[in-house]
Amino acid sequence: MNKVLIVSAAMGEGHNATGRALQDSIGHLWPDAEIRWLDALDVMGSGVGPLFRWIYVSNVQKTPWLYELFYRALWRWHWFAESSKRFVGVWSGRRLAPRIAEYAPDIVLSTYPLGTAGLAWLRRHHRLPMPAGAWISDFAPHPFWVYRDIDLNLVMHERAVEPALRCVPDAEVAVSAPPVRTAFRPGDQDAARARLGLPQGSFLALVSCGSLGFGDVEDAAAELLDAHPDVVPVVVCGRNTQLLERLRPLAEREPRLRLLGWTDEMPAYTVAADVVVTNAGGATGLEALACGRPVLMHRPIAAHGRANAELMAEAGLAIVCERDGELAAAVRQLIADPGRWKEMAAAATRHCERTGELADGLRALAGVTHAAR
């Protein structure tokens, strides 16, 4: 393998985190390969990235009902999903075409659905001769993620195969190992806490709601503090400096509360934690599972966040805490019943062991031949 193209997008950090995990795996599998990245939103036009990020953040924070309406429409009306995907596919595909032709990669990997739409359009128009795969980092696939014209659609759990095939019945779907960097793996909790200056013997809840840090993070912190005197919440605010400032008064009153902005130490903090509290179930949820940590989904964000939470709960990997008091109740239950915590942690570890290595999906995709497509 000489040249690899990763198509991602800076929509938060989750899609790029998946791409970085793939890049790490490529470095071990094909150490001499050249890797190039394309940001699908940037390729689609000047200002498209900022506009789409504004739309996404606004929908999640201010008009979740509108985001939910769009998400449900994708599932309810096949014609709506197909026409939306084709519109984006033409737009994205035509913009990607010259970049891909100029680079001439041996394989193309997508971590962002609008990029995958463009690749599918190129395949239909006989302009994508090399293998192309999509890593679907949402635990619950939705119609915009899955394409019959992509050689391999890789989902995050066996339970995600059925909804992926409901999206596109004749798509090629397989289960991938969690696409997280190799630093996210089970480790010595006591050693991680000692290195990070975190208290031994406490019940440590790592609150991380992505790089944008949106959602009911302040309520989560307050509820965790009230749950039990042994609980130490560590809140990662990411790039949301306003959230960090809003939480400072609470941290000054409650010394158990630890606040972080952007940090490169997420693997160590995840290993140090007893549970990971999040609200979308994307990259943060996958990183928690890779470290063998149960996930508490606190007031999942609309649409894909709620779907991810439900599927993770069905798989025994998460507890959904939707209403006031449910997060505190879940924490108290896990403290009172360590067996329940061990059961969830073991389920996460078994899942990661069962799915093998991230390189397995790369090998499978590389083995796709033109005749097979």
Q: What is the DSSP string of 197-230?
A: T--TTSEEEEEE-TTTT-SSHHHHHHHHHHH-TT
> Mean pLDDT across the stretch 295-302?
92
Residue 373 reports pLDDT greater than 50: no
Q: How confident is the model at residue 372 (pLDDT cuts 50, 70, 90)?
A: very low
Do residues 133 and 361 make contact, with C-beta atoms less than 8 angstroms apart?
Answer: yes
Class at the top of the CATH hierarchy for domain 3-177+356-366? alpha beta
For residue 366, is pLDDT > 50?
yes
Out of 34-38, 205-209, 213-217, 322-326, which region has the weakest mean confidence (pLDDT)?
213-217
CATH superfamily of 189-354: Glycogen Phosphorylase B; (3.40.50.2000)
Residue 371 CA to residue 212 CA, distance in Å, equals 43
**How many other CB atoms sit within 10 Å of the CB of residue 278?**
31
What pLDDT band is residue 12 in, cutting at 50, 70 and 90? confident
Cα separations in angstroms, 155 against 125, 138, 145, 182: 26, 8, 10, 19
User: Is pLDDT of 52 > 70?
Assistant: yes
Cα atoms in the Cβ-side hemisphere of radius 13 Å centred on 62 = 5
Work out the percent of the chain whose per-residue pLDDT is above 70. 98
The structure tokens 């949106």 sit at 214
Task: Say yes or no to pLDDT of 246 above 70.
Answer: yes
- CA pair distance 195, 318, nearest whole angstrom: 27
Domain ranges across the chain = 3-177+356-366, 189-354
The arithmetic mean of pLDDT across residues 114-129, rounded, is 97
Kindly state the average pLDDT of the residues 55-80. 91
pLDDT of residue 211: 64
Domains 3-177+356-366 and 189-354 share a fold: yes
pLDDT at 62: 87
Q: Is the pLDDT of residue 85 over 70?
A: yes
pLDDT digits (tens, 9 = 90+) for 253-270: 999 999 999 899 999 999
**In the predicted structure, residue 33 carries a pLDDT above the cut 80:** yes
The percent of residues above 90 in pLDDT, for the chain, comes to 85
- Rounded distance, CA 138 to CA 145, Å? 9
d(C-alpha 137, C-alpha 144), whole Å: 13
